[in-house]
Amino acid sequence: MKAALDVLQLMKKNGVNPNVQIFNVVIHGFCCDSKVHQAMAFLTQMVGAGLSPNTVTFNPLISGHCSMGEIKIAIQLLGLMEDYGVLPDRQTYAIFIDAHCEAD
């Protein structure tokens, strides 16, 4: 992740603003490393940059929070998806089904 963050800083230094795809890659990377709270900070940066998150943004965040047992936060993210006009997809629902099966 450090190398990815270094490239992101280099982009910004050279006046290249990250797009949704770049933010999604970084968010996914943090979530894969179980650093969901850092990933959430990038969601905030993404929105602050005027970019709209999509299902590719939200699914790893929801999955990461579910993996950490933070189902309530994952459900709040589902509400945030709705606020942004982003519809959950099959993967989103599968993440929740899996999380609820593991919780029982």
Supply the pLDDT for residue 100: 86
* Strand spans (E) along the chain: none
What pLDDT, on the 0 to 100 scale, is given for residue 8? 85
Residue 104: predicted pLDDT: 65
CATH label of the domain that carries residue 18? 1.25.40.10
Structure tokens, 71? 């189902």
pTM: 0.91
Boundaries of domain holding 8: 2-103
pLDDT in tens, 70-103: 999 999 999 999 999 999 999 999 999 999 888 7
Give residue-wise pLDDT tens across range 51-75.
999 999 999 999 999 999 999 999 9
Domain count, the chain: 1
Which residue has 């800083």 as its token pair?
9
